Structure 1
Amino acid sequence: MKNYIDVLKGYLKEAKKVVIFTGAGVSTDSGIPDFRSPSGLWSKYNPEDFYFHRFLTSESSRKTYWKMYKEFFKALHQAKPNAAHHACKILFDIGKLYCVITQNVDGLHQEAGIPEELVLELHGNARKVRCLSCGKNYTSVEIEKWLERGIEIPLCEDCGGLLKPATVSFGQSLPQDVLKKAEFCAHTCDLLIAAGSSLTVYPAAGIPLLAKRSGAKVVIINLEPTAYDDSVDLCIRENAGFILMETLKDLS
């Protein structure tokens, strides 16, 4: 392990524009449930109920959707940034962080102190809830209170429209402005570290390879193997927060 850390430390010393690409494995240490592991949320719910068109057209699917989010909100509002999030903040403080590109929807990078403009949320942010009709915004804290009071399908107070967390559901496109910024940063960085991601969900999963093709060093830190392990400069099968904090000890 020490050799891995020394190699990564060398990459970080040389790098001037570091992109951290984070997946669900980063936030599970904060108590945020993931979706795809054997004990993840998809083991409790049918993913078919979470397609955007089902949300729009099926009252039953909307009830299931909000039942899941009631559970998710509880974990979200109790969660605190962990070592991986704090490591990103250290990189920001020492002037090496180019941006964070995240598949996570929990807002914990911002909670750790990363400026909003440097966090590119490919799949949205569950702390924000929006009316699909009039665009009125709510917080997840507000909506959790409604769900706790027994409301099964929250509706907009102003127009009666459907409310939905500002996250990307199956069948919805990623926000193109965010995706373009992420691709630009991957293309122009000199080091990309993919942490806690299985790299299976596209188009987000293609971003580390874009960085590699553009000449950057690419490191994967993930507990489980990924399809790209043999295509990158360094692959570490350990907890991302632990590895990053150990690597940054002498740099910060």
Structure 2
Amino acid sequence: MAKEHERIVILTGAGISAESGLGTFRDKHGLWARYRIEDVATPEAYARDPARVHAFYNMRRAEAATVEPNLAHAALARLVAEHPGRVTLVTQNVDGLHEAAGATPIHMHGRLAGALCHGCGHRWEASLVMAPEDPCPACGRAMTRPDVVWFGEMPYHMETILEALAEATLFAAIGTSGQVYPAAGFVEEARLAGAHTVEINLDRSDVAHVFDRHLIGPASETVPAWVEELLA
């Protein structure tokens, strides 16, 4: 096994799920072109109109329930299962497509399938439709929210992710715009550790200049080919 393949960290974004039928966020037809972030994806939006926020995430949860993982998800699950070194899979996505393909990623932005009580912090599996009056199973208060990270909140599992990046020999970012921090800064963290860095995307991202290598094209084609290369 080549030394640069010993400890791999992979970051995935919305682009890896686009071919499964889930929309991305920042292109001209993306989610944030149709909904204002300030209305549906901040703690302030939830405090102001929890029903509206729940309706938005109910819609996203329903969409996610209708799609299947694509060849890119399957290839990464194979890499995690078959690679002799350590592979840390981190995703910005809140869908469950990595799990459906057989991998267990670190969900830095939470999960659509999760519910969170913002009163006591209890977590549980969300129902398909959630509402502001849903009681917390632990404390009974009607303080239920989706277990997703909103703008202005700290992503989950950052200590674990940063530890993996500090030891990485290879870092890959797949289907991510490079516009949202702290994830957009992961490549810099990996480079500081001496890792080789690869960007796999439809187009070059906003931080493309920082990467050593670029694989441009649909994730369902580029990711399986890259995985085959690593496992060869």
**TM-score, with length taken from structure 1:** 0.81
Give me the whole-angstrom Cα distance separating, in 2, the residues matched to 1:238 and 1:217. Answer: 20
| Secondary structure, aligned partner of 2:26 | coil
Give me the whole-angstrom Cα distance separating, in 2, the residues matched to 1:70 and 1:139. Answer: 14
1:110 is aligned, of 50, 74, 99, to 99
1:121 is aligned, of 100, 107, 120, to 107
1:52 equivalent in structure 2: 43
1:220 partnered with 2:199 = yes
Q: 1:103, 1:122 within 8 Å by CA — same for their partners in 2?
A: yes
Q: 1:192, 1:211 within 8 Å by CA — same for their partners in 2?
A: yes
Name the count of aligned residue pairs: 227
Give me the whole-angstrom Cα distance separating, in 1, the residues matched to 2:227 and 2:208. Answer: 23
Amino acid at match of 2:6: K
Q: Alpha-carbon deviations, 1:146-169, whole Å to 9, x = none?
A: 5xxxxx534216524221111101
- Following superposition, the deviation at residue 135 of structure 1 comes to 4.1
Q: 1:91, 1:97 within 8 Å by CA — same for their partners in 2?
A: no
Give me the whole-angstrom Cα distance separating, in 2, the residues matched to 1:85 and 1:244. Answer: 8
1:80 is aligned, of 55, 58, 68, to 68
1:17 partnered with 2:39 = no
Give me the whole-angstrom Cα distance separating, in 2, the residues matched to 1:157 and 1:54. Answer: 20
| Pair 1:199–1:154, CA change in 2 (3 A) | farther
1:201 equivalent in structure 2: 180
1:163 equivalent in structure 2: 144
- Following superposition, the deviation at residue 201 of structure 1 comes to 0.4
Q: 1:101, 1:120 within 8 Å by CA — same for their partners in 2?
A: yes
Amino acid at match of 1:230: H
Can you give the 5+ residue segments of structure 1 that lack an aligned partner in the other structure? 1-10, 147-151
1:131 partnered with 2:117 = yes
Give me the whole-angstrom Cα distance separating, in 1, the residues matched to 2:143 and 2:128. Answer: 12
| Pair 1:12–1:224, CA change in 2 (3 A) | farther
Give me the whole-angstrom Cα distance separating, in 2, the residues matched to 1:122 and 1:35. Answer: 17
| Pair 1:138–1:214, CA change in 2 (3 A) | closer
Q: Alpha-carbon deviations, 1:22-62, whole Å to 9, x = none?
A: 01101112222222221122222121112202312x1xx32
- Following superposition, the deviation at residue 64 of structure 1 comes to 2.1
1:28 equivalent in structure 2: 18
Q: 2:187, 2:210 within 8 Å by CA — same for their partners in 1?
A: no
Amino acid at match of 2:188: L
2:79 is aligned, of 57, 70, 91, to 91
1:231 partnered with 2:210 = yes
| Pair 1:138–1:248, CA change in 2 (3 A) | closer
Can you give the 5+ residue segments of structure 2 that lack an aligned partner in the other structure? none
Q: CA RMSD in A?
A: 2.2
2:154 is aligned, of 153, 158, 173, to 173
1:67 is aligned, of 52, 55, 78, to 55
**TM-score, with length taken from structure 2:** 0.88
